[in-house]
């Protein structure tokens, strides 16, 4: 089962509290149903971990374009990629 991470739209109330934007939430729900995507809640910690791993993948990919890299660096890149995929698809 394919799961995508979806960042909800938010709007700030007059008191500075963030609340979900109903129009964005409705659009996300409609598109999720149309695409057959399963939505799930994720923790702040999981978001931080996935974003950090994606940053490492992007940085490693950009740095290694013109240079040779070690097998260890390549394995680190694969480990980060697999961790992101486990978050998306489950264990």
Q: What is the pTM of this model?
A: 0.56
Kindly report, residue by residue over 29-81, the tens digit of the pLDDT.
898 889 888 777 788 898 899 999 999 888 887 776 666 777 888 888 899 98
Which residues are bridge partners to 20 per DSSP? Answer: 10
Kindly report, residue by residue over 12-24, the tens digit of the pLDDT.
666 767 677 777 7
- Give Cα separations from 70 to 17, 61, 78 (angstroms): 48, 13, 13
């Amino acid at each position: 089962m394919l799961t995508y991470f979806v960042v909800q739209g938010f709007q700030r109330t007059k008191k500075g509290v963030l609340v979900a934007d109903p129009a964005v939430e409705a659009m996300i729900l409609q598109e999720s149903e149309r695409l057959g995507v399963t939505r799930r809640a994720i923790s702040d910690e999981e978001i931080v971990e996935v974003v950090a791993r994606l940053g490492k993948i992007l940085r490693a990919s950009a740095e290694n374009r013109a240079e040779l890299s070690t097998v260890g660096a390549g394995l680190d890149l694969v480990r980060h990629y697999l961790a992101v995929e486990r978050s998306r698809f489950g264990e």
